[in-house]
């Protein structure tokens, strides 16, 4: 990613799905089917889908990251998160998580959960920065390689929101 890029965060739209699918396939060994995104976008009022878009791109539209979180009663569940490989390491995932945590808190969530592969140390490091802790191990959770999932929990979202100060992200506008 060039240093002069400008990134914005916004709700996902139907016409983002193809770009989102590209990022999904580049990021996961078991990408979601298109129908899963369409379902959350159109039929699931509990889903919060947000994207990061590079508005300085020469292309008409350049979605470079996405997050999907489900709000179930007082609990938010981060269902997926991925950044295009060319755009990783610039704080974009941090920005998307911040956005979802703030919105989930405003909508009444008090805690947040997610699953992550035991081998995915980068994602675990990212979640720990927000205060997520490993609370459970789901044995052989992922069907492709029978890898365990770690269940991570941010137990006190209200506390996080009280102390939250937006991190200054160089070159990232939100």
Ligand X SMILES: CC(C)(COP(=O)(O)OP(=O)(O)OC[C@H]1O[C@@H](n2cnc3c(N)ncnc32)[C@H](O)[C@@H]1OP(=O)(O)O)[C@@H](O)C(=O)NCCC(=O)NCCS
β-pairing, 133-138 with 149-154? antiparallel
Judged by CB under 6 A, which of 71, 100, 104, 116 binds ligand X?
A: 116
**Contact region with ligand X (CB under 6 A), list: 11-19, 68-76, 84-92, 157-165:** 84-92
Determine which one of 53, 87, 98, 127 is catalytic.
Answer: 127
Active-site annotation holds for 37: no
d(CA 114, CA 132): 9
Query: Rule CB under 6 A: is residue 94 a binding residue for ligand X?
Result: yes
Query: What residue has token string 């492709």?
Result: 144
Query: Rule CB under 6 A: is residue 12 a binding residue for ligand X?
Result: no
Nearer Cβ to ligand X, position 90 or 105? Answer: 90
Nearest Cα to Cα of residue 100 among 79, 119, 131: 79
- Phi and psi based region of residue 149 (left: phi greater than 0; alpha: psi -120 to 50; beta: remaining): beta
- Site residues (CB under 6 A) for ligand X, limited to 119-148: 120, 122-123, 125-126, 129
* Angle at alpha carbon of residue 42, lines to 114 and 117, rounded to 5°: 20
Query: Rule CB under 6 A: is residue 101 a binding residue for ligand X?
Result: no
Determine which one of 75, 103, 115, 155 is catalytic.
Answer: 115
Active-site annotation holds for 115: yes
According to DSSP, residue 15 is labeled: G
In the chain, how many H helices and how many E strands?
Answer: 5, 7
Judged by CB under 6 A, which of 21, 27, 102, 153 binds ligand X?
A: 27
Min CB(129)–ligand X separation in Å: 5
Q: Tell me if 120 sits within 8 A of 35, measured CB to CB.
A: no
Query: Rule CB under 6 A: is residue 88 a binding residue for ligand X?
Result: yes
Query: Rule CB under 6 A: is residue 149 a binding residue for ligand X?
Result: no
According to DSSP, residue 141 is labeled: -
User: Rule CB under 6 A: which residues touch ligand X?
Assistant: 27, 81-83, 88-94, 116, 120, 122-123, 125-126, 129
Known catalytic residues are 115, 127
């Amino acid at each position: 990613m060039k240093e002069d890029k400008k990134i914005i965060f916004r709700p996902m739209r139907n016409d983002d799905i193809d770009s989102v699918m590209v990022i999904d396939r580049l990021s996961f060994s078991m990408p979601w089917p298109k129908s899963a995104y369409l379902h959350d976008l159109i039929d699931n009022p509990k889903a919060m889908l947000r994207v990061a878009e590079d508005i300085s791109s020469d292309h008409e539209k350049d979605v470079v990251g996405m997050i999907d979180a489900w709000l179930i009663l007082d609990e938010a569940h981060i269902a997926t998160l991925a950044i295009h490989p060319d755009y990783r390491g610039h704080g974009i995932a941090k920005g998307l998580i911040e956005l979802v945590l703030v919105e989930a808190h405003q909508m009444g969530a008090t805690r947040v959960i997610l699953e992550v592969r035991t081998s995915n140390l980068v994602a675990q490091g990212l979640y720990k920065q927000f205060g997520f802790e490993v609370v459970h191990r789901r044995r052989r959770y992922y069907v492709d390689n029978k890898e365990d999932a770690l269940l991570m929990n941010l137990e006190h979202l209200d506390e996080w929101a009280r102390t939250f100060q937006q991190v200054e992200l160089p070159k990232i506008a939100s």
